[in-house]
Every structure is written in structure tokens, then in C-alpha cells.
Amino acid sequence: MNVIEALNQRKSTRAFLKQDVDKAVIEEILDAARHAPSGANTQPWQVVVVTGEKKRKLEQKLEAAFSDGIEAKMDYLYYPTEWSEPYKSRRVACGMELYRALHIAREDKQRRRDQWAANYRAFDAPVALFFFMDAGLQTGSFMDYGMFLQSLMLAAVDKGLATCPQAALAEYPALVKQELGYPENSILICGMALGYENRDAAINHYRMPRDEVSAFARFFE
């Protein structure tokens, strides 16, 4: 598989097979991703791989925090405080397509809530990855991290694995840090579900459209 094929094939997967991922495969994916660029070779990424009983314990605590109505508060602002176009419409369309794929009606608040709760279980993938960064690093390191995450996801595609990068797994950073032994002042960037895609699951059949190149690129000669 070449890089362009992997880019076209990668998608956010939200249903996984109950099939473990060998530790050696995860290490191989991380070994490939570590070649991502970073400013001044800072390599800001710190990755925690969580599986088995540890994953079950952590996801139970995350889901309980959500169920108890504890306010989610990431270490940084991921989304704008006020949405403008075209981003507002894209966000709404993304949610609508997801619920349409699952045949969840707009007024069915319980099923919508149940579906959101699945975020905190990493959609029942066998592997949940958590990505940390030292608190003293700045905006450029977030850019570096984005390149690392994309490299990781493309390497996963090459190995026949599926992923879903998740801001939701970083919504309760204090809880995650306590459970995984990270300092309070570290930055939890996000999480990621990793595993083998359940190709029969309806939620994996929808894809959100992307703008054509002509909509976002300008050429000067």
C-alpha cells in the first residue's frame, strides 16, 4: 500500500472486532510514527498504550464521570467558544450523518447519550492510546503532534488496523493522569481507539465529504 492509498482509506472507525492487537504490531506502528517531523527535533509525543484490565478500569471511571454529570474540561480549548460558518454547518452535518447511520432519531436523547458514552470506552476497541505532552511546550508542539498522530494512523492502515482519534478521551484529564501516573501539569492532547474494524457495523459505513482542492487551495505563478 502506498501513502496516497492509505490517506484515502483512513477513516474514523467506531466499531471494532473483539480481536486483540499484538504488542509487536503496536510497537511497529509507533516505530514508524516516530519519524514524524517536529520543530527543532523536540519530539513532544509521549504515548501510553492501554489494554486489557487496565483499559476496562479506566473506561469505567471515564464513563462514570460522564454519567454522573461531571463537567468535561480538557487541558486546552479544542473547539471554538463560538461557532461560525462554514465550521458550524460541517459540525452539525457530521453529527446528523452519524446518528442517521445508526437510525437514531433526533428526539431519542437516551440513545444519543448512550452513543456518546461509547467514546469513553474507545468504542470498545481492544487498544486505547493516550497522548501526553510536557506543559512547558507551546503551540508549535501541537502542530508537531498532529503530524505524529497522522503518521501513526497511516501506519495503522498499512497494518490492516483501524483507528479513531478522540478528543473525548481527553475530556477528563485529571482522572486519566491519576490513573496512568502522569503529572497534573502535563497536557493530555487526545486519545485514540485502535483495533480491527468491524466491517458489518452500520456506523462504519458512513463517510463525511471533503472539500475539493479548488475550495481551499490557491495557486500563484
Q: Where are the domains of the chain?
A: 3-128+137-168+191-209
For residue 75, the model assigns a pLDDT of: 97
Q: 17 by DSSP, 3-state: which?
A: coil
pTM above 0.85, yes or no: yes
Backbone angles phi, psi at 46, to 5 degrees: -130, 115
**Using CA of residue 10, residue 13, residue 17, residue 22, what is the dihedral sign?**
positive
Flag whether pLDDT at 99 surpasses 90: no
Q: Among positive and negative, which fits the CA dihedral 206, 10, 123, 84?
A: negative
Q: Give counts: helices (H), strands (E), the chain.
A: 8, 4
| Cell numbers describing residue 134 | 510536557
**pLDDT (tens digit, 9 = 90+) per residue, 129-159?**
999 999 999 999 999 999 999 999 999 999 9
Within a 10 A sphere around the Cβ of 33, how many other Cβ atoms?
Answer: 20
Class of domain 3-128+137-168+191-209: alpha beta
Q: What is the pLDDT of residues 159-186, one digit of tens each?
A: 999 999 999 999 999 999 999 999 999 9
Closest CA to 168 of 84, 62, 35: 62
State the pLDDT at residue 206.
Answer: 87
Query: Which of the four pLDDT bands, split at 50, 70 and 90, describes residue 38?
Result: very high
Q: What is the pLDDT of residue 63?
A: 96
